[in-house]
């Protein structure tokens, strides 16, 4: 089942300096979607999956305390965060979190949270690392998402962001031969299918910079994404070439997927000591947790805990 489209929910947060009373930007809802098996199943995207593994090995720090994986889906990448003591998986789709829990288990090392990136249910300065892989292309407005990610990160945290690259070789070729009307060279994003956006590398990097992230490393990823080549018998040599191209092409960034490693160098947000969750509805950190729910003392909103998965969706 394809993901459905979410739009137009009104935020009722009044007292936060970060989240204003405004419309939540639209994004894709993967609840009830069979994305994991339909998209990744039977090894049909083994090349992309392992290209991402190579990229993550190059970008992840050797160690860390608490990693936030945003839009984690069914946890395809989670076991790759080997250096981190704990990982908090967030996805708007409860069913994706359920699949992740089935895959990774109910372990002390993992915590599963259904929430939306525009309203993360965490206190300020909680995490020392974050990733967001294959999610940015579903966000209709990337700026408030990056601002919210910054809020929950500590200063000097690592943030690894993947995005679908508008300025890729195929798009350039199609544009220059008249098969595509939009320019891959201009910075505005392009919506190629409803709520599927390709972003331009300069635009993404400018947004990161505007929120205090310093891009330290760039990798061009999935350089050989060519349907006719992607066969099991080709996988080894394709990955060897991919590994070289990730770095060779990193100055030009003409690949369909780009990974950026940033460090959060500017962070003026106040630390909230000893708080982990905060209410995404009113911003309060005064929460009362029971085995089946978390209740906000300030606004009274109750968030269920479903079989160990925190459901903080507004």
Ligand X SMILES: C[S@@+](CC[C@H](N)C(=O)[O-])C[C@H]1O[C@@H](n2cnc3c(N)ncnc32)[C@H](O)[C@@H]1O
Would you mind telling me the total number of residues written for the chain in this entry? Answer: 314
Helix (H, G, I), strand (E, B) or coil at 306: strand
What's the token pair of residue 41? 């199943």
Cβ proximity to ligand X: between 73 and 268 the closer is 73
Question: Interface with ligand X by CB under 6 A: which residues?
Answer: 27-28, 30, 35, 71-73, 76-77, 91-93, 96, 116-118, 133-135, 138
The least distance separating ligand X from the CB of residue 26, rounded to whole angstroms, comes to 9
**Distance between CA 134 and CA 75 in Å, rounded?**
12
Cβ proximity to ligand X: between 58 and 155 the closer is 58
Q: Which of 55, 255, 259, 260 is nearest to 167 (CA)?
A: 255
The least distance separating ligand X from the CB of residue 27, rounded to whole angstroms, comes to 4
The gap between the terminal CA atoms of the chain, to the nearest Å, is 23
Q: How far, in whole angstroms, is CA 122 from its chain's centroid?
A: 16
The least distance separating ligand X from the CB of residue 261, rounded to whole angstroms, comes to 16
Cβ proximity to ligand X: between 80 and 170 the closer is 80
What's the token pair of residue 283? 């911003």
The least distance separating ligand X from the CB of residue 265, rounded to whole angstroms, comes to 25
The least distance separating ligand X from the CB of residue 92, rounded to whole angstroms, comes to 4
The least distance separating ligand X from the CB of residue 274, rounded to whole angstroms, comes to 26
What single DSSP character describes residue 229? T
Sign of the Cα torsion 78, 283, 147, 153 reads negative
Cβ proximity to ligand X: between 140 and 202 the closer is 140
Cβ proximity to ligand X: between 50 and 214 the closer is 50
Cβ proximity to ligand X: between 118 and 259 the closer is 118
Q: Which of 13, 1, 9, 132 is nearest to 68 (CA)?
A: 132
| Beta bridge mates, 27 | 6, 139
The least distance separating ligand X from the CB of residue 263, rounded to whole angstroms, comes to 21
HSE-CB of 193 using CA atoms within 13 angstroms:
9
Cβ proximity to ligand X: between 133 and 258 the closer is 133
Cβ proximity to ligand X: between 77 and 262 the closer is 77
Cβ proximity to ligand X: between 193 and 273 the closer is 193
Residue of this chain nearest to ligand X (CB atom): 73
Q: Which of 115, 114, 168 is nearest to 137 (CA)?
A: 168
Q: Tally Cβ neighbours within 10 Å of residue 304.
A: 15
Q: Which of 186, 196, 142, 188 is nearest to 164 (CA)?
A: 196
C-alpha distance from residue 139 to each of 109, 148, 198, 211 (Å): 28, 13, 10, 17
The least distance separating ligand X from the CB of residue 68, rounded to whole angstroms, comes to 11
Helix (H, G, I), strand (E, B) or coil at 209: helix
């Amino acid at each position: 089942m394809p993901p459905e489209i979410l739009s137009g929910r009104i935020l009722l947060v009044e007292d936060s300096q970060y989240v204003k009373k405004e419309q939540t930007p639209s994004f894709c809802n993967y609840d009830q979607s069979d994305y994991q098996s339909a998209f990744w199943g039977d090894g049909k995207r083994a090349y992309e999956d392992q290209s991402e593994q190579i990229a993550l090995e190059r970008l992840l720090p050797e160690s860390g305390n608490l990693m936030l994986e945003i839009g984690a889906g069914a946890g395809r990448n989670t076991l790759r965060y080997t250096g981190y003591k704990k990982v908090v998986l967030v996805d708007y789709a409860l069913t994706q979190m359920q699949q992740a829990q089935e895959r990774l288990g109910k372990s002390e090392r993992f915590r599963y949270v259904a929430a939306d990136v525009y309203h993360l249910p965490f206190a300020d300065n909680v995490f020392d690392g974050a990733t967001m892989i294959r999610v940015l292309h579903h966000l209709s407005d990337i700026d408030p998402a990056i601002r919210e990610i910054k809020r929950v990160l500590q200063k000097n945290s690592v943030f690894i962001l993947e995005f679908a690259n508008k300025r890729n070789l195929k798009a350039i070729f199609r544009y220059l031969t008249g098969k595509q009307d939009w320019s891959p060279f201009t910075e505005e994003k392009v919506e190629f299918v409803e709520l599927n956006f390709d972003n331009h590398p300069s635009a993404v990097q400018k947004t990161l910079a505007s929120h205090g992230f310093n891009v330290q490393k760039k990798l061009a990823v999935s350089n050989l994404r060519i349907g006719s080549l992607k066969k099991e018998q080709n996988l080894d040599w394709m990955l060897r070439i991919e590994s070289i191209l990730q770095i060779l092409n990193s100055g030009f960034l003409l690949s369909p997927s780009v990974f950026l490693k940033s460090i959060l160098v500017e962070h003026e947000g106040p630390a909230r000591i000893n708080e982990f969750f905060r209410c995404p509805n009113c911003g309060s950190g005064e929460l009362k947790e029971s085995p089946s729910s978390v209740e906000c003392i300030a606004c009274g909103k109750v968030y269920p805990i479903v079989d160990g998965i925190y459901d903080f969706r507004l």
